[in-house]
Structure 1
Amino acid sequence: MKALRTRGGFSVRFDVRGAVVGLLLAAVALLMAVVLIGTGDFPLAPPDVLRALAGSGTPAQDFIVRELRLPRVLVALCVGVALGLSGAVFQSISRNPLGSPDFIGLAQGSAAGALAVIVLLKGSSVAVAFGAFGGGLVTGLAIYLLAWRQGLHGYRFVLVGIGASAMLTGLNSYLLTKADLVDAARAIVWITGSLSGRDWAQVWPLLSVCAVIVPLVLTQARPLRMLEMGDDSAYALGVRVERTRLLLMLAAVLLTAVATAAAGPLAFVALTAPQLARRLTRSPGPNLLPAACMGGALLVIADWTSQRVFGADRVPVGVVTGVLGGVYLLWLLVTERRAGRI
């Protein structure tokens, strides 16, 4: 941990290793984004991709890169950052490595909102996105209210979230049984999680929300680290506990909802990204910036893997994140059990 002092007498403390890890992960995410843009039925070398991004490629290259593939990659980066950051916030607030949107019902709530629009209202893709966003917000508010009891205890929050997740999973299964064949196929693709067909219409809303909320969450890294020490310690250090917790939870719910609305409920990204980032930084605390960069890198790598191994758009990226995340979850459970924490 280093401290920088300014002429006005202020000092800023930061973790050197965490900053370096965050920068390296960001570089990996951007590098893999360039590689992913060049992957497809019309392959492009990285120099050709960079020339097309700069506007100096051939007309065919400019069209393929800037109109067809760049929006998809930007959605992948923003969704990964949003999920990684929201996962870090929820795991820090609950003080539990399983306290991620995958387990506490937020992804299932967003899926319920989207399925209701698909099955009951026959809505367009824009309406589905709004349904997913609204479902995530309503679910997050309900879990917070149900878990509140003279404060918000981490384990109670996780248990309420797991119960909400189970109920919403049953509701989603019921909605699928009520759908006709076309709507059921459309719904299955959406709830699996996919980046196929993403264009600039999905990029701008997602980018706008992330541009506002991500910096806001990053400025709360110090209070969030204090919250991990317990409410009493945070109060003693001058943190407005409930106000800070509510602000961070609302921001995390918004990030999860907008990410799910853009790409579907991608499994395990929010769970694995903060844990992997923490193991790389080897430092306590939420590690918000490394977790966000790790989320972006993971999703871009998963999308590249799905296209290279199975072919373009044959297997949704949610399948790859689910398989990799499931393996990581088993490893995490074994590790936590050996440490005596579960």
Structure 2
Amino acid sequence: MSVTICNFPPVRSNTPTRRETVSAEKNPNDTREQELWERISTSEGAERAEVLDELSHIAYNRSSYTQCLNLIESSLDIYYKLGGAENYLPEMTHLYEGKAHCLENLKRMQDVAETFEIIVQLKALAQDDEGQIEATRSAARAWYDVKEWQKSLDGHTAAIAMIDPDATPFSRGIDLINVGMAQAKLELFDEAIANYLSARSHFKEAKNPEYVKWCDNYLALAYIEVKNGQEAKFHSLHYLNYTKVAMDPIMEGYARFRLGLSHLLCQEYAEAEEHLARSLELLTFESDKDWEDIVAINKGLAQVLTALGRENEASERLERISTIEETISV
């Protein structure tokens, strides 16, 4: 029952991003790469590690992420043998940041999370408070991606506890909504609601209606979980209003889903049927169908139909989705 499957992105990042090189008829990197490989055979120690680092950038620029990763690991191995972070802290921090980017491109999010945890430690050694906060957030987002909810919560909570001199209402809102999302996954709904409400206030202060909408979405879901139909209805309606103004039919489908369940909790069955039926129309129109939510909407409609005394219609609807439900639950 979620439009998003990952935490919200960083407000800013001090981690250097390895950018793609613009192609040309003759790429100067080709000559440079050949020169660097020739230097490998004659270099050793820190010089060799630097050459491997530069080669890793060239590999990254042509999207050879596995090769880039291998070059980074080889460079790191040398630095560890030369005393590690005690002697080469900036160089190793830079390499681990590059490693994180490679792993992100390779979709190895567990390794991404573990790499950012190392970067957190390196930033702390460098007394780079801002970098430590950003790395902590990055690790927490990666833990969320691999469904390590407690580790994600711990990371986001730690980031909030750090003093960020550049914090803004928007950045504070991002931290709070990410904390709330992790808490909701851990079924700590009351705590999640409190953080969503705080995040909503910050986003309103930042004059950002898009993120106020996201808070309304997650507040509606959390209030549905705790069976508070009135509050769920309030935030679902705000979410729906945004989607209508934005003319986003898919998001409108999700908003009507939440609003329909909210009316169901309030025993307002006619309104619940109207919104759930319209939600189903909108979400089944999407080419990449969200079958889990489509099944859930049908189940909600079956509850409404049963409450309205239309048991046969409810049974027929449940029968129609039974095969799909069995398939997606495997």
Compare relative contact order (CA 8 Å, sep 6+) and give the higher one, 1 or 2. 1
TM-score (ref. length: structure 2): 0.21
Whichever of the two has the greater Rg, that structure is: 2
TM-score (ref. length: structure 1): 0.20
